Structure 1
Amino acid sequence: MNEIKNQSILFVGGKGGVGKSTSASALALMFAKSGRKTLIISTDPAHNLGDIFHKKIGEEITPLFDNLWGLEINPELETNKYIKGVKNNLKGMVKSSMVEEVHRQIDMAASAPGAEEAALFDKIVSVILEEKEEFDKIIFDTAPTGHTIRLLSLPELMGVWMDGMLERRKKTNKNYSQLLNDGEPVDDPIFDVLQRRRDKFARVRSIMLNSAETGFIFVLIPERLPILETEKAIELMKKHHLNIQGLIVNKILPPSADGSFLKKRKEQEKDYLQMMKKKFTDQRLYEIPLLEEDVCTLNHLESFVQHLQREVYDKV
């Protein structure tokens, strides 16, 4: 039930404003301090990692602490790289008279809905395949819930789409070879490119579906809307055969919180905590108290890590 200690890849998601980036950073620091070589990656366009760790983090893997490195993926930059890569793949495959028009169509596609997510996913695929042997832990700090689900569903959706593309391409090649090439197979570099990409996505999907290797953790707070959103996320993820195994319940009022105002809040919070325990029976709940101060310094983050460590390692 507590696979988080052994999984090498963790995706951390959740509703905006619940402490998702803080939780992902605390997980990364916790594993790094335990001697695991850890890489934390932000896929959220509104990057917070640099602010949390008080270091400039960008497109290059950046050392943060002992055993801890960071990377912030820029979706716009990755989209430009992705489009450039598509154009390069078409070199020599398209008649010179058509190159300009093909490039124009590709540039138009770059602004279409889903293009940025496809480019971002392509980068995530590359990071997983290139870095999973280099690091003991890779932690993804993702964008808010809806974006995360669309992103994580891409391996399945793109696999189906590329299977269709490959099948159509295969039929075209077969017809072409029968009509114009005396039945001899024809070389098709486009088919080869599609096949390589299909294999790449299949490898990553296999990794993501392996619960011994990859985990999905959502962060929420004991309030009605985050609970309902998390419940929907769990169901949507299940449709793509992805299971959220752990929930970090953040900002729980501590016993020391007093006063009539906080007393009423704690009574309501108690009901919400009971609701979570009834709803999320398949998930491990990691309960983190509301800290006295905002997590704005490394000392604050260390305090968060201490609470998280007790939940992950010490709590039975």
Structure 2
Amino acid sequence: MGLSSYFEKKGDAGIVIFAGKGGLGKTTCSAGLSHYMASKRNRKVLCFSTDPQASLSDIFDRDIFGKGLISVIPQLDVVEIDADRRVADYQEEVKQKIRSMYGLTEIPPEIEEYIDSTSAEPAMYESATYDAMADLVATSGHDLYVFDMPPFGHGVRMIAMAGILSKW
């Protein structure tokens, strides 16, 4: 059964995840399904790439990486998250909270170094991307979310973030 046949029978799916090892065509399938569901099935679709290779920009021939929600055709929005920028924004947010909480104009160097070192923490980038995914699903108002996952190891860590972050 092809994907189009599957979705004609089960058209109410809300989340589709394409995952697996690199080079399988996850991004191509994600983009193709998203385009099909938006243009032929009139679903409001968000295609979200969590792959650091950011090839949805190539497929849709637009600069999408790190730009937020980009509408590529009616009913289809696409996002490629810039995890580096999300981590840097989070670090700056923590610094601002410290400055505000303690009435500081500058953060002591040892604290600033500690905050800056958090970008090297295991799973920091997966966590930043997971947060972006969760925010979009909770707030964007689409009725189908298609996730283009990174190669297998990164994808497994990202999916595991749900369990890890729920304990925080």
TM-score bracket for the superposition, by shorter chain length: 0.7 to 0.9
Count of matched residue pairs: 158
1:20 equivalenced with 2:26 (yes/no)? yes
- Native 8 Å contact 1:47 1:72 kept in 2: yes
Instruction: Output aligned runs, 1:109-124, within 5 Å.
Output: 109-124=118-133
C-alpha displacement of 1:112: 2.4
1:102 equivalenced with 2:89 (yes/no)? no
- Native 8 Å contact 2:98 2:104 kept in 1: no
C-alpha displacement of 1:93: 3.2
Provide Cα deviations, 1:159-193, integer angstroms capped at 9, x if missing partner.
22x2xxxxxxxxxxxxxxxxxxxxxxxxxxxxxxx
CA distance in 1, matches of 2:19, 2:111: 37
CA distance in 2, matches of 1:107, 1:54: 34
2:152 corresponds to: 145
CA distance in 2, matches of 1:75, 1:120: 6
The higher radius of gyration belongs to 1
Query: Structure 1: any 5+ residue segments left out of the alignment?
Result: 163-316
Provide Cα deviations, 1:103-124, integer angstroms capped at 9, x if missing partner.
2211111222222222222222
Match of 1:66 among 58, 74, 78: 74
3-state SS, counterpart of residue 83 of structure 1: helix
Provide Cα deviations, 1:14-33, integer angstroms capped at 9, x if missing partner.
11111110111111012102
Change (3 A) 1:90 1:97: closer
Provide Cα deviations, 1:238-269, integer angstroms capped at 9, x if missing partner.
xxxxxxxxxxxxxxxxxxxxxxxxxxxxxxxx
C-alpha displacement of 1:43: 1.0
- Native 8 Å contact 2:91 2:115 kept in 1: yes
C-alpha displacement of 1:97: 9.6
- Native 8 Å contact 1:36 1:67 kept in 2: yes
2:3 corresponds to: none
CA distance in 1, matches of 2:83, 2:102: 28
- Native 8 Å contact 2:47 2:78 kept in 1: yes
Q: Moved runs in structure 1, 4+ residues, more than 6 A?
A: none
Change (3 A) 1:55 1:92: closer
3-state SS, counterpart of residue 150 of structure 2: coil
2:136 corresponds to: 127
- Native 8 Å contact 1:79 1:115 kept in 2: yes
Change (3 A) 1:21 1:105: same
1:30 equivalenced with 2:39 (yes/no)? no
The structure, 1 or 2, with the larger RCO (C-alpha pairs under 8 Å, 6+ apart) is 2
C-alpha displacement of 1:128: 1.6
CA distance in 2, matches of 1:10, 1:81: 28
Instruction: Output aligned runs, 1:89-238, within 5 Å.
Output: 89-94=97-102, 96=104, 99-100=107-108, 101-131=110-140, 134-160=141-167, 162=168
Provide Cα deviations, 1:259-308, integer angstroms capped at 9, x if missing partner.
xxxxxxxxxxxxxxxxxxxxxxxxxxxxxxxxxxxxxxxxxxxxxxxxxx
Sequence identity (%): 27
Which residue type is aligned with residue 140 of structure 1?
F
- Native 8 Å contact 1:79 1:120 kept in 2: no
3-state SS, counterpart of residue 18 of structure 1: coil
CA distance in 2, matches of 1:108, 1:51: 33
3-state SS, counterpart of residue 142 of structure 1: strand
Change (3 A) 1:92 1:30: same
C-alpha displacement of 1:94: 4.2
TM-score, normalised to structure 2, is 0.83
TM-score, normalised to structure 1, is 0.46
